[in-house]
Amino acid sequence: MSANRNVADMAQARASSSVDAAKLQVFLWGEREWEARQRVESVLAKDPLFEKSSRSFLTRSQMYYRALAMTNRLHELQEIHRWSPEEVNIAFKLVDEPLPIALHMAAFEPVIRTQGSPELKQKYSELIAQRGILGCYLQTELGHGTNVASLETTATYIPETHEFEIHSPTLTSSKWWIGALGKTATHGVVQARLILPPGKDVGPHLFLVQLRSLDDHKVLPGITIGDIGPKAMGGYSAVDNGYASFDHVRIPREQMLSGFASVTPDGQYVQPPHAKLSYGGMLYIRSSMVSSGGWTIARGATIAIRYATVRRQGNKGPDGLERQVITYPSVYYRLLPILSHAYVFILLGRNLTKAFGEMTSRLTSGDTSLLAEMHATTSGLKVLISTTAIQDLETARRSMGGHGFSDFAGVGRLYADYVPAATYEGDNFVLDQQVVRAALKAFDALVVKKTRSVNELTPSTLYLRHLATSSSPPSSSLNWNKPENVIALLERRAAAMVQERAQDLRDPDASADQRVSRAVTEAFVAAQVGEIIKSLEETVASKEATVLRKLYNLHLLVAAEGGLVDILSFGLLGPSASGGDPTRELRLAIKRHCEELLPEAIGLSDGFGFTDWELDSALGVYDGNVYENLWKRAQSEPLNTSEVTEGYERYIKPMLERGQRRIARAKL
């Protein structure tokens, strides 16, 4: 088979798409960001320092140095091109790998901004913004993760000197997993139990601690610091996740982050006005995980769809060619839903960012009314998106058959870097419980205590309104092409599950929280998708709107299929029109949607606007020339530098000679 066949197949697929990729790029990125992105990308893609394909052959130390070099270079480029902070952020997004500096930007800087006292901010904000110091955020300990209340590190106030003494009393109290702590950060915000005289423990609070000298980067006295070693599957390889233990380290009183709670010079505790005011940062990170999860899925989907378009396998058609693998139902049934997830989560994330802005500005004026809603929403979404994205990346990788297991395919790398999302920023199984707790509370107010009316339901609990209306099972089969039907079905399922969960309160089954949390979150997402579909006419041209409507509808159908156990067990599906298996109509609707979307798959994935440099995948190249790319990349493998391996003289030759000797001996 000629490699040009691949290129012809890709060109053909592109020509037969009815959508305009450029219009979709603006739809997904927004006009302003899309333009800035192209501007910044043209700078980075030319710079050899940002070359991505060499990563396959680097050690962890080399990956770390490369990350530092890129970070330093980005700050140089910022000056050269007079990039705005927004453009710098875009540059970091384009680099698209976990970097130590990310912890400075996403954790250290925001926590000081939101929880530091005015004096502390006055002293440090500019230093932090200009990278005059580099920070990290020390929460997790060797023995404690999600359960912050049990952290062991202490910060004991010494009224005599107006200092706090930071101390790690045990091995398990060592801070562990802290990004950028191992070798990079000069400062850190340490979470420690505040102990006030005469020994009163008032629980975890935050303290700014200098870790390394600004003169020579040596670790300051009393502190032990190191890197915690490599991560599973080579993920996060460039990040120096580190450990630290503190041996009675003193810091001035002013370095407590006392934007909310504080300690008076004589050691009196001043209560925070609202205990939850400090949740903002955590919610910000979780809410930003929605669109980043969407973009991660987008990468996997683009690579897998492009490869499945040019890969041919199976029986030969009348043209003498084997079938393009994307035309197999078992393949498109896997890839098109992934595409729909990406399109949903990207838009959902954008809406969430807006809602987060609204909440923050209210919080500033002491109004915490949106906090609980944001907390419930982001917890559920964090679980749903991370679980979905991990699964989608693996599905994408596996859809590529053998070649998907090559590092050059690029999806394994995405997977390894993405997979900790299920356990960081709140373990998914802990968050599930929080989602269920919020749902039960809303159920209790609406149905049991009747202290809240249907009109007072928030978006995250709106599905509960179905409990207030009569809910006799439908007498005829659903029209699966109408999004409102599928949304209502997903909402009724969530309502029924919460109701059942409330009934089984004292003896839930072992996976109940996980299932209820998922149902509740899927109902919320479905309603949001409904809004997105309604707004399509205004946000995108009509040709694209037609295709996107199908794609968003596919998302709803696939969610319904995933919820079938619940839907069936609550009798929420009417009988099939044909009298047969009522789930078959749903599955055929999915198949029809996929068939109609199939010619648009390349156009829709081009809509993400990824360049070859960004994707860094031999199988996901824009022009489809996958085999030549695989071949070319293999030539750089270090094992290929010599025709005969170093291992020959030392190991292979002795083995062959031993074997031949044995035979000679046997023949004697």
Interface of this chain with its own copies, residues 331 to 350, rule: CB under 8 A: 331-333
Candidates 430, 414, 329; CA nearest to 380 is 430
64 binds its own copies (CB under 8 A): yes
Name the residue with tokens 């020959």.
Answer: 648
Label residues 135-156 b or e (16+ Cβ within 10 Å = b): bbbbbbbbebbbeeeebbbbbb
Interface of this chain with its own copies, residues 397 to 426, rule: CB under 8 A: 397-398, 401-402, 404-409, 411-413, 415-416, 419-420, 422-424
Residue of the chain from 510, 538, 579, 668 that contacts its own copies (CB under 8 A)? 510
Name the residue with tokens 């997830």.
Answer: 341
Q: How far apart are CA 466 and CA 446, in angstroms?
A: 11
Residue span binding its own copies (CB under 8 A) among the ranges 291-299, 361-369, 375-383, 565-573? 565-573
247 binds its own copies (CB under 8 A): no
> How far lies 32's CA from each of 21, 47, 353, 544, 611, in Å?
16, 24, 16, 20, 18
Residue of the chain from 34, 269, 570, 622 that contacts its own copies (CB under 8 A)? 570
668 binds its own copies (CB under 8 A): no
- Cβ distance 429 to 147 under 8 Å? no
Residue of the chain from 93, 183, 250, 441 that contacts its own copies (CB under 8 A)? 183
Q: Least CB distance from residue 601 to its own copies, whole Å?
A: 14
Residue span binding its own copies (CB under 8 A) among the ranges 19-27, 30-38, 376-384, 511-519? 511-519
Residue of the chain from 513, 600, 606, 614 that contacts its own copies (CB under 8 A)? 513
Q: Least CB distance from residue 522 to its own copies, whole Å?
A: 16
Residue among 270 and 639 whose Cβ is closer to its own copies: 639
Q: How far apart are CA 109 and CA 90, in angstroms?
A: 17
Residue among 75 and 437 whose Cβ is closer to its own copies: 75
Residue span binding its own copies (CB under 8 A) among the ranges 109-117, 259-267, 538-546, 577-585? 577-585
* Sequential DSSP letters for 533-546: HHHHHHHS-HHHHH
Q: Least CB distance from residue 328 to its own copies, whole Å?
A: 8
State yes or no: 179 annotated in a binding site: yes
Residue among 147 and 542 whose Cβ is closer to its own copies: 147
Residue span binding its own copies (CB under 8 A) among the ranges 35-43, 67-75, 189-197, 474-482? 67-75
Q: Least CB distance from residue 589 to its own copies, whole Å?
A: 9
3-class secondary structure, 486: helix
Q: Least CB distance from residue 177 to its own copies, whole Å?
A: 6
In the beta sheet, which residues pair with residue 269? 263
Binding mask 638-657 for its own copies (x = CB under 8 A): xxx--xxxxxx-xxxxxxx-
- Cβ distance 648 to 657 under 8 Å? no
Residue among 197 and 580 whose Cβ is closer to its own copies: 580
Q: How far apart are CA 488 and CA 465, in angstroms?
A: 11
> How far lies 597's CA from each of 60, 327, 593, in Å?
41, 11, 6
Q: Least CB distance from residue 421 to its own copies, whole Å?
A: 10
Binding mask 137-176 for its own copies (x = CB under 8 A): ---x-xxxxxx--x-x-----------------xxxxx-x
In the beta sheet, which residues pair with residue 256? 207
Q: Which residues contact 22 (CB under 8 A, 6 or more apart)?
A: none
Termini Cα distance of the chain = 52
Name the residue with tokens 């599928």.
Answer: 486
Name the residue with tokens 């035309």.
Answer: 327
Q: Least CB distance from residue 438 to its own copies, whole Å?
A: 17
Pairing of the two strands 187-196 and 154-158: parallel
Record the tokens describing residue 482, joined without a space.
Answer: 């109408």
Count residues near its own copies (CB under 8 A).
Answer: 156
Catalytic, out of 152, 163, 425, 585: 425
Candidates 626, 519, 656; CA nearest to 2 is 626
Distance between alpha carbon 77 and the CA centroid of its chain, in Å? 27
Binding mask 279-318 for its own copies (x = CB under 8 A): ---------------------------------xxx-x--
Helix axes 60-81, 85-95, angle to 10 degrees: 150
Candidates 197, 153, 29; CA nearest to 608 is 29
State yes or no: 186 annotated in a binding site: no
**Helices of type H across 508-610:** 512-539, 542-562, 564-569, 582-597, 601-606
612 binds its own copies (CB under 8 A): no
For 249, phi then psi, to 5°, come to: -90, 125
Binding mask 186-205 for its own copies (x = CB under 8 A): x-------------------
Residue of the chain from 204, 226, 459, 474 that contacts its own copies (CB under 8 A)? 226
Residue span binding its own copies (CB under 8 A) among the ranges 200-208, 445-453, 466-474, 630-638? 630-638
Residue span binding its own copies (CB under 8 A) among the ranges 107-115, 159-167, 374-382, 660-668? 660-668
Q: Least CB distance from residue 340 to its own copies, whole Å?
A: 14
Q: Least CB distance from residue 381 to its own copies, whole Å?
A: 18
Candidates 628, 1, 626, 40; CA nearest to 313 is 1
Residue of the chain from 160, 216, 266, 319 that contacts its own copies (CB under 8 A)? 216
Interface of this chain with its own copies, residues 72 to 131, rule: CB under 8 A: 72, 75-76, 126-127, 130-131
Residue span binding its own copies (CB under 8 A) among the ranges 291-299, 365-373, 392-400, 482-490? 392-400
Residue among 184 and 255 whose Cβ is closer to its own copies: 184
> How far lies 357's CA from each of 111, 461, 631, in Å?
16, 21, 48
For 607, phi then psi, to 5°, come to: -60, -20
Candidates 423, 468, 478, 418; CA nearest to 448 is 468
235 binds its own copies (CB under 8 A): yes
34 binds its own copies (CB under 8 A): no
Q: Least CB distance from residue 665 to its own copies, whole Å?
A: 10
Q: Which secondary-structure segment (H or E) carries 73?
A: helix 60-81
Residue among 124 and 356 whose Cβ is closer to its own copies: 124
- Can 456 be counted among the known catalytic residues? no
Binding residues for FAD: 140, 179
Catalytic (active-site) positions = 425
Residue numbering of the annotated binding site: 140, 179
